[in-house]
Every structure is written in structure tokens, then in C-alpha cells.
């Protein structure tokens, strides 16, 4: 397997895992993870922080800023009470 094939498979696996995570939470009464499941999506030197539990994103910012936003959001939601089911 080439490096490109390995990276492609890893990317597909990560996206699939995130989709399953979102699906499972929609069917589990709407409770958020503690901490929230965040992801940083890179596009060149820009990136966006995405929170799968809040269903929000930062928009594209500097890659380091997106990483820091994800870290802060994870820390901020570490002890947060789950939101009530809708």
C-alpha cells in the first residue's frame, strides 16, 4: 500500500467514524458528549473547527487558531451538563 492510499483510507475512516458518532447521538436522546466531539478540517493553511455535538463551526481561520479553538471548546465542555432531549 502506498503512502497516498494509506492517507486516503485513514481520511475515509475518520469521516465515517464522525458520521457514526453523530448518528448515534441523534438516536441516543440528544445528549451531548462530555467533552464535545470536535474536529479540525484543514484546507491548505486555513482550517475550521467543527463541533459535532453543538453542530457549529468556526468558519475557516488560521490552522493554529482552529486547533486552539478545538482545544478550548473541548476543555469548556468537559464538565458541562448534557442538553435536554428535544
pLDDT tens digits, one per residue of 9-25: 877 777 776 776 666 65
C-alpha cell at 20: 457514526
Domain count, the chain: 1
Q: Based on the number of CB atoms within 10 Å of its own CB, is 51 exposed (0-12), middle (13-18) or buried (19 or more)? A: buried
What whole-number distance in Å separates Cα of residue 48 and Cα of residue 63? Answer: 8
Whole domain around residue 25: which residue ranges? 3-76
Q: Which has more confidence, 84 or 40?
A: 40
Task: Check if the beta carbon of residue 63 is closer than 8 Å to that of residue 49.
Answer: no
Is residue 55 a part of any domain in this protein? yes
Task: Tell me the C-alpha distance between 47 and 66, whole Å.
Answer: 6
pLDDT > 90: what percent of the chain?
19
pLDDT-derived band at 70, boundaries 50, 70, 90: very high
Amino acid at each position: 500500500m502506498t503512502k497516498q492510499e494509506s492517507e486516503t483510507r485513514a481520511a475515509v475512516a475518520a469521516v465515517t467514524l464522525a458520521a457514526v458518532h453523530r448518528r448515534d447521538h441523534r438516536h441516543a436522546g440528544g445528549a451531548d458528549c462530555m467533552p464535545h466531539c470536535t474536529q479540525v478540517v484543514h484546507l491548505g493553511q486555513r482550517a475550521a473547527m467543527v463541533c459535532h455535538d453543538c453542530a457549529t463551526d468556526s468558519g475557516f481561520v488560521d490552522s493554529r487558531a482552529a486547533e486552539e479553538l478545538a482545544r478550548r471548546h473541548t476543555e469548556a465542555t468537559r464538565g458541562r451538563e448534557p442538553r435536554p432531549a428535544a
